[in-house]
A and B are shown apart, each in its own frame.
Chain A
Amino acid sequence: MRDTFRGGVHPKGHKDLSREASLRVFDAKGEMVFPLAQHIGKPAKAIVKKGDAVLVGQCIGEADGFVSANVIASCSGTVKAVEKRRTIAGVLQECVVIDNDGQYTETGTFGQRQDISGITNEEILRRVQAAGITGLGGAGFPTHVKLAPKAPLGIKYVIANGAECEPYITCNDQLMRGYAKEIVEGMEILLRLFPNAEGVIAIEGNKPEAIAAMEKAVAGHPRMRVQKLRTKYPQGGERSLISVIAGVDYPTSKLPADVGCIVDNVGTIYAVGRAVIYNEPLFRHVISVTGEGVQTPSNFIARDGTSFAEMIEAAGGLKTGVEPKKIISGGPMMGLAVSTVEVPITKTTNAVTVLLSDEVEKASLKMTTCLHCGRCTTVCPNGLMPQMMADAVIAGDLERYEKKLYGLDCIFCGSCTYICPAKRPLTQTFKQIKAEILAKKRAAQAAQGGGK
C-alpha cells in the first residue's frame, strides 16, 4: 500500500520547539471577541445584544440556514457590543464582544457523561449541529453538513486527520498523545453514522508517540486502524489523505463523500465525542503557540475568542530583545499573516506562529525570471503544471488556464511557491486568478439571469 501521495515538499518542521509541551488549559482574562463568520457558509446571526449576561457554553450566534454553524460563548460575563471588529482575515467583521468576568460560570447543561447507546443517528447529528462544531483543521466546514452525505451507506472510510503536516504546529500531536481514548470514542460515533466504513487514524511518521498512543487506543476495535504516513507536506490535505488511504484522486467538482470518504481533523472528532457524549458545545480547542519569537513554545487548550496577544502572553510572551517579523494564524505553509495581535482566535485557529525572520521578504530579493526548471510540476500534489499556469496568466489566456491546465483545481497548498528557485509567487497568482475567474462567471450568470 502507498504510504504517501505523489509530489509534495519537505519544509523544515520546527516541531521540536513545542512537540514535548503537554497541553495546558488556558483561561483568558480580557475581553473575548466572537466573529459570527468563523466557518464556511452563511455567517451566524447574533442572538444576544449589548448588556445581556452570558454563560460558558451559551449559544450567542445562531446558524443561519443549513450550511452555517452556531457560535458559542467561551466565557461568562456581559455582552459589551455586537459590532465590527478586526479579525484574522485582516478585515472588519461582525463580532459579539463579551466583557469577561473571569468566573467561567457554565450553563450547566453539559459535562455529565450520558449513555448514548440508545440514541438515533438524527440525534447524533442534532447534537453535533447544536454544539456548533466545524472542521478544526483549516477551512471550517460545518461538521453536521459533512456528516450528512447523500449516501451514508456508500462511505468506505472515515479518516481521522492527525497528519499535522504544517511546520511548527504540534497541538494535534499532543491531543492524540493525551486524549487518544476520547478520539476513539468520537470515531465510534462517526462509525455508527457510516455502518460500512472503516475508521482510519492517519498520522505522519514524525509523531511516533502519537501513533503508539492511538494504536493502543484502537486495539480491540475491529473497524479502526492507525495508518502511519510518510512525513511530507501537504500530507494532511484532504485529497492527499484520500489518495493514500482510498487510492482515489478526485476533481474539485466532487466532494470526498462522492468517492466514499469522510475526512475530519482529530480535533473535530474529539469535539464530536464531547458534544454527543457530554452534550458539550465547541468553545475551546487545542492550539500551538510557537515559533522562534515566543519565550516558551507551548500547546494549549484555549477558549475561542481569546486574543492573539493573550495567547502569546500565555506562552511566556515574546522573546525579549528581538523584534518579531511576522505572526501567522496557523502554520507557515497555508496560514494567514496577521497585522496585529489584537485579533481573536477562532474555531479554525490551530496555531499562533511568531517568526523572527521573514523568508518571503528575503526571497523577494532573489527573484529571477522563471527558469522552466519544472520543480513546481514535480511537487504539485494534484499533478497540475504551475509553471504553465503562471505563463497562461501572464499571457492573459484564462481559457487555457481553466480548460487545458485545470487551474481551478489548485488547492493553494503552496508547495510550488515553496520550491520555486526563481522565487516566483505562484500560489498567490493562482489564488488571485481563481477569484477573478469565479467573479467573471458570477457576473456572466447574473447578466444571463437579468436578460430573461
Chain B
Amino acid sequence: MTLNLSASPHVRDRWTTSFIMHTVLLSLVPAAAVGVIVNGVHALLVILASILAAVGTEALFCLLTKRPLSIGDGSAAVTGMLLALSLSPITPVVYPVIGSIFAILVVKCCFGGLGKNFINPALAGRCFLLISFGSAMTRFPMLDGITSATPVAQLAAGKAVNITSMFLGTSNGVIGSSILALLVGGLILWGLDIIHGEICFAVLGGFTLFMGLFGGQGFDPKFLLAHLCGGGVIMGAFFMATDYTTSPVSRLGQLVYGCLIGVLGAMFRIFGHNADSFSYSVIIGNLFTPLIDMYIIPKPYAYHKKAIRAASGIKLPPLRQRIPKPVVALALITLIAGVALSGVYDMTKDTIEEQKKAASAASYRAVVPQAVAIEESEAAMEAIEALGGQVYGTKFGKAYINEAYVGKDEAGNVVGYALSVTSGDGYDGNITLSVGLDAEGRVLGIAFTELTETPGMGMRADEDAFKGQFAGRLVSQFVHNKGGVPGEDTIDAISGASTTSGAVVNAVNAGLDFFHSVLQGGK
C-alpha cells in the first residue's frame, strides 16, 4: 500500500482557472448572440476570427517558446471574445485578427502570460486597432445601411438618443452593445462571485456621480441612463475593469480603482471628444493597479483600530462626542446647499430651456431684420438630420450646424436665412452663433447665443469692431486675417484672441457653405 503524503489541506475546491475563464466566456455569449442577430452573420465572422486568432497566437507562442500549451485555461478565448464584442459589426475580418495577435502576443505572452499582463489585453488590442485604423474602426452601420454616428457621438453633440434601443442592443454600435445581454452575463458573474462587485459598482457609481455633477444636465435620469448605456460603460465595468490580473486585490483598492475608472470615463466624455474614451480610462486604471496594490494593503482584522481597542478593553465615547461640531455643521450646510441647488435647477430647468429657445428666436430676428416670419425649411431640416450631429465638412474645424430657418416678408417672399452654428474650437468651450444671410448669400449680421470666452479678449468677439466686419459682405468664404493685408474677403482677427476669432470665422464659413450647398436656390 503506497500512501500519498502532502501538507494540509488535503481537499481542494472544484473551481479551476479553466472553469472560471470558460464561465466568463459563456457569460459573454448572450451579448454575442444579440450582436449577431441584430447585425447579421458578418458579426459572427468577426467574433470567430478574433477568438481563433487569439487562441492560435497563444498556441503558436507556446509551441515556439517550448512552453506548456496554455490555451486550455480559456483565457485567450476570453480575450478574443471581448475584443470582438468591442468592435463594429462591419469591421473587416482582418482587424480583429490583427488586434487579437497584438493583444495575446505583445500584451499577454511577452509579459509572461496568464496573470502577468500589465493592461487588459482585449482593450490593448482594441486601442491598438483604433490608433492604427482610426476612421475605419469608428465606422458603424445604421440599420438601414447608412453610416451614422453612434449614440454616444450623438450624445456628445447634445442630441437625444433612443435609450430603449441602446438597452436592447438594436441601436448602432459595437457587436456587444446590448446592455441587457451584457447585464445578464455580468450579473451572473457577480452572483457567482467570479467578478468583484466592488469594482463594477464603483465604476458605475463614480461615472454616474461625476456625470451628474459635471455633465451639465444634473441628475437627469434619462441623460445619465443614456450615458451609462452607451460607449462601453457596462462592458467596461463588468468585463474589462474586472479583469483579475489588472485590478487591485484588496477591497478598498478595488473601490479606489473602480471610482478612478468611472470618474476618468465621465471626464473624458464631458471634456473630451472621443467616443471611445472609456477604453482608455480602463487602461489608465489598469496602470494604477500596481501602485494601488503597493500602498493599499488592508490590515488583518486583529490590527484594525476597532479590534485593538476591543482587545484591550478601551471604550470610545459615543459617536456624537467624537465628531467635532464644525464637521457636523459643515456637512449639514453642504447637504442643504446641495438639495437647494438641485431644487433650483429642477425648478428653473424648463424656464432656462424656454429662455434659450426665445434667445435663439430673438437672435434669428436680429440677424434677418427684414423678415416678419421665421419659418422652418424642410430641405435644411433633412440635411441637418442627415448630418446626425457629426462635424460639418472638413474645412471648418469642429463646426456643427444646429438649425436653419427661412425668413419671409408679409407677402411670403423669401427675404433671408437664419442659421445657428456651433464651433467646438472656442478657447473656453463652445461658441454658438446665429448667421443671417439674404437670398444671395450676403451676410446680414451675426449674433452670439453662446459665448464664454476670456473677458477682455475672446469676449471681444461680441463687439461690433469684430462681428460688424461680417455684415453686408457677399463672399463665398471669409479669410481669417492675422495681421496680413486686408482684402475683399478678410476678417481681421481679434488681437490676442485669434483662437476665438478663428473659431467664429470657421463657424460663419460653415454656415455659408451649408447655405450654398443646401439652401440657395430658394429650396
Contact = CB atoms under 8 A, between A and B. Distances in A.
B135 interface: no
Given A250-B307, A324-B1, A423-B16, A431 B7 contact: yes
B311 A421 contact: no
Contacts of A388: 249, 293, 297
SS class, residues of chain B in contact with chain A = loop
By size class, the interface of chain B is 35 or more
Contacts of A339: 3, 5
A248 B310 contact: yes
A333 B300 contact: no
B304 A249 contact: yes
Contact of A374 (B9, B19, B249, B303): B249
B114 A369 contact: yes
Given A248-B311, A249-B301, A326 B4 contact: yes
A385 B250 contact: yes
Nearest to B21: A371
Interface string B1-35: 10111111111110111111000000000000000
A360 B6 contact: yes
Interface string A330-351: 0011111111110000000000
Q: In this complex, which of B4, B7, B8 has the most chain A Cβ atoms within 10 angstroms of its Cβ?
A: B8
Nearest to B113: A369
B403 interface: no
Contact of B12 (A243, A325, A360, A404): A360
B429 interface: no
Interface string B188-218: 0000010010000000000000000000000
A400 to B, nearest CB: 9
A374 B17 contact: no
A127 B10 CA distance: 38
Contact of B310 (A247, A368, A428): A247
B9 A417 contact: yes
Contacts of B245: 371-372
B513 interface: no
A352 to B, nearest CB: 12
A418 B249 contact: no
A243 B1 contact: no
A172 interface: no
A359 B11 contact: yes
Contact of B300 (A259, A359, A384): A384
Nearest to B304: A249
B302 interface: yes
Interface in B321-340: none
A358 B5 CA distance: 10
Contacts of B247: 372
B15 A421 contact: yes
B311 A369 contact: no
Contacts of A370: 115
B12 A363 contact: yes
A166 B112 CA distance: 38
Contacts of B114: 368-369, 371
B302 A387 contact: no
Interface stretch (A6-14, A46-54, A71-79, A442-450): A6-14
A361 interface: yes
Nearest to A233: B9
B73 interface: yes
A405 B4 contact: no
Contact of B20 (A12, A384, A421): A421
A328 interface: yes
Contacts of A361: 4, 6
A327 B2 CA distance: 10
Interface string A399-413: 000001110010010
Contacts of A409: 300, 302
A377 B293 CA distance: 13
Contacts of B7: 337, 425, 427-428, 431
A325 B297 contact: no
A415 B3 CA distance: 24
Contacts of B20: 371, 373, 421
B249 A358 contact: no
Contacts of A338: 3, 5
A362 B12 CA distance: 9
A335 to B, nearest CB: 6
Given A248-B311, A383-B298, A384-B300, A427 B8 contact: yes
A237 interface: no
Contact of A328 (B10, B112, B301): B10
A195 interface: no
Interface string A121-138: 000000000000000000
Interface in B266-295: 293
Interface centre among B12, B15, B311 (most CB of A within 10 A): B12
A239 B196 CA distance: 27
A301 interface: no
B116 interface: yes
A419 interface: yes
Contact of A385 (B1, B16, B244, B249): B249
Contacts of A326: 3-6, 10
B113 to A, nearest CB: 7
Nearest to B309: A248
Interface in B99-136: 112-116
Contacts of A384: 300
Contacts of B73: 368
A90 B5 contact: yes
B11 A167 contact: yes
Which of B196, B247, B298 has the most A CB atoms < 10 Å from its CB? B298
B75 to A, nearest CB: 8
B249 A366 contact: no
Contacts of A418: 9, 11-13
A360 B297 contact: no
B8 to A, nearest CB: 5
B320 interface: no
B42 to A, nearest CB: 33
Nearest to A10: B13
Given A333-B8, A360-B10, A385 B115 contact: no
Contacts of B19: 421
B10 A337 contact: yes
Nearest to B246: A372
A57 interface: no
A142 to B, nearest CB: 23
Interface in A291-334: 323-328, 332-334
Nearest to B310: A248
Given A250-B311, A366-B16, A383 B300 contact: yes
B300 A251 contact: yes
A325 B4 contact: yes
Contacts of A336: 8
A315 B8 CA distance: 24
B395 interface: no
A369 B116 contact: yes
Given A368-B114, A414-B9, A418-B11, A337 B310 contact: no
Q: Which of A12, A250, A323, A339 has the most CB of B within 10 A?
A: A250
Nearest to A426: B9
26 contacts: A9-B13, A12-B11, A249-B300, A249-B302, A254-B311, A259-B310, A260-B313, A324-B1, A326-B3, A327-B3, A328-B8, A335-B8, A337-B4, A338-B5, A366-B16, A368-B73, A369-B113, A369-B116, A371-B20, A382-B300, A383-B300, A385-B250, A388-B249, A388-B293, A422-B115, A423-B12
The 7 closest A-B pairs by CB, nearest first: A414-B9, A383-B301, A249-B301, A332-B10, A249-B307, A249-B302, A251-B302
Interface of A: 6, 9, 11-12, 90, 167, 239, 243, 247-252, 254, 258-260, 323-328, 332-341, 355, 358-363, 366, 368-375, 377-378, 382-385, 387-388, 404-406, 409, 412, 414, 417-423, 425, 427-428, 431
Given A251-B300, A418-B13, 8 more contacts: A248-B307, A359-B10, A366-B17, A368-B115, A382-B301, A404-B297, A414-B8, A417-B9
